[in-house]
Amino acid sequence: MDGHLTREEQKEIKKRLNNQYQQLEKLVNEWDPIGLIRGGAPKDEYDCLTAQLLALLHEGKNAEELMKFIITELDEHFGYGLSNIREDCHDKFLKKCSDVSVKIVDWWGNNSDDQGNVNQK
């Protein structure tokens, strides 16, 4: 995946991979990286993040690659990057990004078959 998905591509992924999308959306919303869901935002607030993460998983990306994407996306799309976080909180921020990346890759590995189809639960 080069660059960001367009809004139309995000909608297509959400429609075509609905079961996978819903499961990943739940993980992303539970993580709620900048507190939007806890603040009352709709559950699709992180669609841009969720759709692109799902596309990256289908491309076979690993946790480190997902983490790099997440950090960049939070900075560029949401304006919530390392430059906006107190320096003494950088390690905590990076650890949370790393932890969620590992959790997402584990979910993918435990719930998808060789073709990237996620088992329904």
Q: How far apart are CA 76 and CA 2, in angstroms?
A: 15
In a domain, 117, yes or no: no
Confidence (pLDDT) at 108: 96
Q: How many CB atoms within 10 Å of residue 18? A: 10
| 2 within domain boundaries | no
Residue 119, domain member (yes or no): no
The answer for residues whose C-beta is within 8 angstroms of residue 29's C-beta and 6 or more apart is: 37, 43, 45, 46
Does the pLDDT at position 23 exceed 90? yes
The pairs formed by 9-13 with CB atoms below 8 angstroms and a separation of 24 or more are: 9/51, 10/47, 10/48, 10/51, 10/52, 13/51, 13/54, 13/55
Query: What would the two tokens of residue 15 be?
Result: 């429609």
Q: What is the number of domains present in the chain?
A: 1
Domain annotation covers residue 60 = yes
Phi, psi dihedral angles at 70 (to 5 degrees): -60, -45
4 confidence band (pLDDT: 50, 70, 90): confident
What type of residue sits at position 91? Answer: D
Q: Is residue 27 part of a domain?
A: yes
Question: What does the pLDDT average to over 25-45?
Answer: 96
Q: What is the pTM of this model?
A: 0.87
**53, 28 Cβ separation under 8 angstroms:** yes
Residue span of the structural domain in which 46 resides: 7-111
The answer to whether residue 118 sits within a structural domain is: no
Whether 84 maps to a domain, the answer reads yes
Query: Residue 96: how many CB atoms within 10 A of its CB?
Result: 15
Q: Is residue 120 part of a domain?
A: no
What is the model's pLDDT at position 1? Answer: 53
